[in-house]
Amino acid sequence: MPPAGLVIRSATRGDVPSIMALFAADALGGHGDTDDPSALPVYEAAFDRIAASPADTLYVAELDGEVVGSFQTMLIVLMTRRGRPDMTVEAVQTRDDMRGKGIGEAMMRFAAERAREAGAGRLQLTSNLARIDAHRFYRRLGFVMSHAGFKLDLA
């Protein structure tokens, strides 16, 4: 059960510093994220691209006026499965001191509801292999590890 008063909403540009802090605190992510104010313009530019996309949405979980979690959804239409869209969830983060309080589960249930509303046939995500606790969490919510993922760094 999530904490009373938890609100999940679309992120605003004003939320970007809090989202940066969530990513910067992630020891396992290895994405090179930072909460250094000099990086704010780069994150704001990313926010602007996400906000401009009709298929992408960035969300925050807010409790008592503070951002305690974040995730992003992307609606993807493929030719397979007769063109039925999938919704992908990425960049799922819950603030360290808020883990185990039902916030992550509330965010994933919210994402699943948005996927249903969009007509998606599947909600999917990827998770770093080092995130054993996260894998347990996703399995508990009914997610099934079904594919191997591959990445090619282009930078």
Neighbouring-strand partners of residue 7 = 62
Mean predicted confidence (pLDDT) in 145-154: 87
The pLDDT of residue 28 is above 80? no
Cα dihedral: 14, 65, 32, 138 (round 10): -120
State the average pLDDT over residues 124-150. 91
Domains annotated on the chain, with CATH: 7-140 (3.40.630.30)
Q: How far apart are the first and last CA of the chain?
A: 41
- Over the stretch 52-74, which tens digit does the pLDDT of each residue have? 999 999 999 999 999 999 999 99
The mean-pLDDT minimum among 113-117, 128-132, 137-141 falls in 128-132
This prediction has a pTM of: 0.92
Structure-block tokens of residue 129: 């292999």
Give the residue-averaged pLDDT of 79-90.
91
